[in-house]
Structure 1
Amino acid sequence: MDLVSSQPFWLLKNGLPELYPPLERDERCDVAVIGAGITGALMAEKLTSAGHKVIVLDRRDVATGSTSASTALLQYEIDRHLIELEEQYGEELARTAYLACYESVSLLEERVKRLGLDDSGFVSRDSIYLASRPRDAKVLEAEAAARERAGIPVEIWHRADLLDRLAVDRSCALHSTRGAQVDPYLLAHGLLEEVVKRGSGVYDRTAVSSVEVTRSGVTLRTDRGPVVRAKRLVVAAGYEAGKFIDLRGRVDLNSSFAIASEPLAAGAGWWRGAMIWESSRPYLYCREVSDGRILVGGDDVPFRTPAARDAMIKAKASRLERRFRRMMPALEWEPAFSWAGTFAETRDGLAYIGSCRDHPLCYFALGFGGNGIVFSVIAAEIICDDLVGKVHPWAKAFRFDR
């Protein structure tokens, strides 16, 4: 199935920075990874840095699935409020999930710097979470208090602050300094380049047709004929992991839409580098790109078919433009690109990470939701520890039986 429309922004912007061959012969490795998007790339780089030999397989070209359509806001904030998760799961698990995300933004920044991936567009950003309606202010105030109790610094900006700093007329917002943005497509390519340099393999346009698990390991049979034999398997294929594990009742598919502007004129740094999003659901969010463009996204709807999703792009792009102009009426800008993607989200807003009772020797890195890249960083930490017999302190918040 097509995960994105015909003109995803990052692929248009960057082209194909690297080409990878299809699998043409049998391979053996410590860990096989299904999926060469940003999740698989983060996983494979972490595994190879720990000394594991890895084979990465993808049925598409590298990073041309959901990764090429992601607007890549890196936030510790989860689609569900901390206060909601505390009510559902208790304070310990909820705080663990939020703190894992909070720490993972810095972990990714450290990795990008250590590997010298300067062209990935990683930039630290503030996050501004707007109250969409006056009645949302009380919820945001309660959320701020819960985060402070969990050890996450946050401050409340009131209407006067927002008008002064952003020229946005809302009752209040939560301001956080732990956030970032990135070019997910170039980051995935940069990480996989490191994987290959370390002697592991990346093969695209190679679909896994079956997975066989025995006591001695995992055998992956491909549509091209060659097989991969591994000690362990990590499935990092997004919602397409449904081919290998039953996801019914766990995730919902949504179509999400985005537009990118022409580069803004010099001196139009109105948001002071912040990422902005709002409390309404489905929410609107925006950030800038390294070349001065604005990315605006959201307005999600339940997924039906790729054709139905793509038929909505024009109308949804117009709606995103109108909503953003209402938010920022004084800003002069011009839309240039529009696209859509299909993404999965869990019912509680948390990723599914780790092993599953029905699938021995297999791990799943399913970073569903609005901050899937951050979840993918978390998945790499949890699974790498589990491979050497350690239980990561974050694992309990993202396990399948939570």
Structure 2
Amino acid sequence: MFDPETTEQGDLREGRPPWRKAGATPDFRSPARNLRCDVLVVGAGISGALMADHLTARGHQVCVIEREQAGFGSTLASTAMLLWEIDRRLGFLTERFGFERAANIYSHSLRSVAGLAALVRDRGLDCALRARPSLYLAAGDIGAAELRHELALRQRAGLPGVFLDHAALRRDWGIEREAALLSPGAAEADPLLLAQGVLHAAAQGGATFFKAEAVRYESLGRRAGVVLASGHEIEAGAVVLATGYVLPDIVTSNLHNTGASWAVATPPQPPSSLWRDRALIWEASENYLYARTTSEGRIIIGGEDEDGMGKREDRAACAPAKAAALIAKLAALYSRAEARAETIWSGAFGTTQDGLPLIGEVPGHPRIFAAYGYGGNGITFSYMASRLVARMIAGEREAWYDDVAIDRAAP
């Protein structure tokens, strides 16, 4: 039995995330022959699960391949903070794209969190998903004036939220910061249970699952295919790459960078030691601190991000110092908490210069689609990608898809 407390998967993560309620996944069997299907999904983490579920719901014959254990790579390392707010502020994206385009992207992100919550409800998935507000704290060069400007843009876009000044944060939240934006519409979940539940929903919809590794991708006119390490081939009407933060060689972007993030989980806390409304907390800075609570009353706090760190042994060597730094930051952020690390873990993650994902057909490889560069919006963008890619496969197109295209221009 795979033990998430002690086992690493590739170079995606290591350590002990607190998601220990590992359930069963659909049966993954080794392919015994060449296969054909409508859509082949490569990867069975949360991104692949959402892709498979949605594509089967649209009537496609879907095959999913996974080289390791489903959900135990990037997904297990996730802190599953389901934020609709994007790593880059609406003000930044307004300067980059113009207000209308930037507001549209933010609105789609808000709807993605709502859509994911509806999917969990409609499928009856038991994954500890809870609606939460988000608390976006002033930090670094972003103070009260900048947050007021950000709120004004959000209100113009029809996005929810209110401004909290220093006095309100101290009085109502026990947090000493200059200001914050408080917004509804976010959520939290257990990412492993979520991925496993969605995989089961895809299986019930008719998806089939194989234990296999893709070693070569091919575009075949109106179809695409992969060659497996076993030598077998799978031909499909479309191939969807949902391989977490492992980008195949055919996917290149001058926007993308891979980094590492660390997180710790405290022991379960008494209710009096948890902040108001158990909001998702994050900072208005580039390398931001982020925090949430769990259904068991633990506090998860993460950050201390580093560029590179692609090897798990490098991340593991940094773990004691990173844990100490995160615990010190938790104590400074919220003094009522028992600031003690019970578990620590880290993982690779992909970011982009403009904070937006890379979603769409892989340039130069017709009928092969990909979704990467999720940054801090991993599961939110996974849901968004599943909807966009399904429409692209069907030949549907909207102008804003260019804003997340893999080959879009750098900011």
Coarse TM-score class (shorter-chain normalised): over 0.9
- What is the deviation of 1:151? 1.0
Q: Distance in 2 between matches of 1:294 and 1:116?
A: 26
Q: Which residue of 2 aligns with 1:334?
A: 340
1:194 equivalent in alignment to 2:201: yes
Q: Distance in 1 between matches of 2:26 and 2:396?
A: 36
TM-score normalised over the length of structure 2: 0.92
Q: Distance in 2 between matches of 1:294 and 1:8?
A: 12
1:272 equivalent in alignment to 2:282: no
Deviations along 1:264-318, whole A, 9 cap, x unmatched?
A: 1244443322111112331111101111111111110112332211110111011
1:75 equivalent in alignment to 2:83: yes
Q: Distance in 1 between matches of 2:362 and 2:215?
A: 20
- 1:39 aligns with one of 14, 32, 47: 47
Q: Distance in 2 between matches of 1:150 and 1:298?
A: 29
Are residues 332 and 219 of structure 1, via their aligned partners in 2, closer, same or farther at CA, if it must alter by over 3 Å? closer
- Preserved contact between residue 67 and residue 185 of structure 1 (Cα < 8 Å): yes
Q: Distance in 1 between matches of 2:330 and 2:279?
A: 15
Q: Distance in 1 between matches of 2:142 and 2:400?
A: 34
Q: How many residues are treated as equivalent by the alignment?
A: 397
1:225 equivalent in alignment to 2:225: no
Identity %, equivalent residues: 35
RMSD over equivalenced CA pairs, Å: 1.7
- What is the deviation of 1:96? 1.6
Q: Distance in 2 between matches of 1:6 and 1:265?
A: 25
1:260 equivalent in alignment to 2:268: no
- Preserved contact between residue 138 and residue 179 of structure 2 (Cα < 8 Å): yes
Deviations along 1:164-213, whole A, 9 cap, x unmatched?
A: 22100111100100100111111111111111122221223x21011122
Deviations along 1:134-188, whole A, 9 cap, x unmatched?
A: 8622211111111111110211001111112210011110010010011111111
Q: Which residue of 2 aligns with 1:7?
A: 16
User: Could you list the runs of 5+ residues in structure 2 that have no partner in the other structure?
Assistant: 1-9
| Aligned-partner SS, 2:246 | helix
Deviations along 1:91-148, whole A, 9 cap, x unmatched?
A: 222112111101111000111100000x211111000001125862221111111111
Amino acid at match of 1:192: L
Amino acid at match of 1:335: A
- Preserved contact between residue 286 and residue 296 of structure 1 (Cα < 8 Å): yes
Deviates more, 1:326-335 or 1:71-80: 326-335
- Preserved contact between residue 96 and residue 397 of structure 1 (Cα < 8 Å): no
Q: Distance in 2 between matches of 1:165 and 1:53?
A: 52
- Preserved contact between residue 273 and residue 336 of structure 2 (Cα < 8 Å): no
TM-score normalised over the length of structure 1: 0.94
1:60 equivalent in alignment to 2:65: no
- Preserved contact between residue 40 and residue 63 of structure 2 (Cα < 8 Å): yes
Q: Which residue of 1 aligns with 2:190?
A: 183
- 1:105 aligns with one of 100, 108, 113: 113
Q: Distance in 2 between matches of 1:216 and 1:260?
A: 48
Are residues 357 and 254 of structure 1, via their aligned partners in 2, closer, same or farther at CA, if it must alter by over 3 Å? closer
- Preserved contact between residue 9 and residue 69 of structure 1 (Cα < 8 Å): no
| Aligned-partner SS, 1:272 | helix
Deviates more, 1:23-32 or 1:306-315: 23-32
Q: Which residue of 2 aligns with 1:348?
A: 354
Q: Which residue of 2 aligns with 1:295?
A: 300
User: Could you list the runs of 5+ residues in structure 1 that have no partner in the other structure?
Assistant: none
Q: How does 1:384-399 map to 2 (within 5 A)?
A: 384-392=390-398, 394-399=400-405
Amino acid at match of 2:88: R
